[in-house]
Every structure is written in C-alpha cells, then in structure tokens.
Amino acid sequence: MEAWMAFVVLSFLAYSICLKLGEYMLVCLMHWRLDAKEKARYASLDCWCRSAIPFCDTLIIWRGNSLPNGFGRCAVCPTTSLINHSCSPNGFLNWDDKRRHMTVHVMRPIKKGDEITISYVNVNLKAEDRQLELRHKHRFTCTCPACSATEEALQASDKRRERIGLLTDGAARRVLSPRTDISMKEIEELLMLLDEEYGDPSYKGDVCMEAHAVKLKEGGDKVAARTWAAKGYKLMLLTKGASSREVQLAKHASSQ
C-alpha cells in the first residue's frame, strides 16, 4: 500500500513538472517568434529579478505579467500588463476573442486623473491570502484601501468576501453553463453582498444568469427568466463588452 501511494505521489509530481516545463518551453518559443520591437516592449515590463540568463528573464516577466485571456489561457499584453493592482479595482479585464486583444472595462465612474486599477488575484480571498499570493507571484505588499482598512473593517470585509466566494464558487467561469443548484435566496444574498463589498457590477451579471437558469428549472417561468437574463446582459455589457461570447449568450437568453 505504501509503495502504491509513493508511486501515485511521484507520478503526480512528474506530471506537474512536465506541465510546468511544457509551459516554460511554450513561453520561450512564443518569445523567440517576436520581432525586435515586440521583444523590446516585452523586456520593458516589470521583472522583479533580472538575470544574466536571457530565458530566465523571459519566464520571470511571464510569471509576473501574464493575464487570463479565456478559460485556462494567459497572455502578456504590453499595455494592460502595466495597469496597477487593487483588491477593490475599478477596472475589469476581459479577453476579446473576436478582436484577439485584452479589453478593460470600468465598473464605476472614474474621475479625470484617477488611476484605473485591476486585480491580479481572486478578490474574494481573505486579505491575508491575497497578500501571500501577491508577494509570491508579484513580489509586493498591497496597500490599497481594502487592505489598509482598520482591523475591524478588514475582518468584516474578509467575512463578506469569504461568503461571496462560497456562494459564487467561480460564477464567472460558469456563465456558459450556469448551475442550478443555488437557490434564489442565495442569489439575492450574493447580490446584496456584492453591493456591500464592491458597489459595482463586478460579477453580478454572472449571478443574474444563474438566476435565469434557476427560474427556468424551478417551473419554467420564462418571463422571470428573461427578466433576469436582461439584467445579466446589461451588467455584463459593462464589464465584458458587446463582443464577449458570454454577453452574446445573455442577450440571446433575454429575448427567448
């Protein structure tokens, strides 16, 4: 039994190492294909530890500047990779598959001269966990308003974000196939928590699409389902743009 367990563990480690090596080889290959101007822009991005070995810098820049551009994919974007982090960001990144570039959508009014920020980590993590991830991957300690709040406010925020995380369970990744195991009571609680904690559309559009699916399952209430889909479409339009596949699906659902 012990030998079998050791074999499983070693196999998993070998698999993980192969995946990581494959990722690094692909990054180096893609970097090699860039022209001189593109390589110069890539090299100008933040690199917390410069190395005398060229490919090491390539990998460090990738690790610190890559952004999600779809389900399980990442990309380094010379402009959007320069946007600073906040645990209560006013900007939302979304990959435009049609145009093949990253888009930034503001989630609340921004005054002239104010900085646009995005989140480098899952904002629904507790403050301590967010800081650990930021230090590990990006080598800095966040001092945004959400992380600089009083101890009492920070604890209240952590509690809300933890509950949001439990309720959403990755809602943004389930828009293409919304779950129906969540109740309408939980959806209403989730929308309230999102308002209290962030005060902007954030993931509310995805939650509305879950409500749409729940209403259809509960008894085929198509009128209520369309109403939720229409809300989801309007909110997702703000954070993901008209060309997003999720937005197009929400628009279609609101007219069914």
N-terminal to C-terminal alpha carbon distance within the chain? 56
Separation CA 163–CA 245 (nearest Å): 28
**Which tokens hold the place of 85?**
């982090």
Report the distance separating Cα 255 and Cα 247, nearest Å: 13
Give the DSSP letter of residue 177: S
Residues forming a β-bridge with 93: 104
pTM for the whole structure: 0.75
Q: What is the 8-class DSSP label of residue 198?
A: T
Contact 210, 174 (CB under 8 A): yes
**pLDDT per position as a tens digit, 74-94:** 778 888 888 999 999 988 888
Which residues are registered as beta bridge partners of 92? 105
What CATH number does the domain located at 66-254 have? 1.25.40
Which residues lie closer than 8 Å to 123 by C-beta, 6 or more apart? Answer: 87, 88, 89, 130, 161, 198
Domain limits, the chain: 1-65, 66-254
CB 15 within 8 A of CB 31: no
Residue-wise pLDDT for 85-132, tens only, equals: 999 998 888 877 777 778 888 888 888 899 999 998 889 899 999 999
Q: Which pLDDT band, with edges at 50, 70 and 90, does 175 fall under?
A: very low
Question: Residue 178: its pLDDT value, please?
Answer: 57
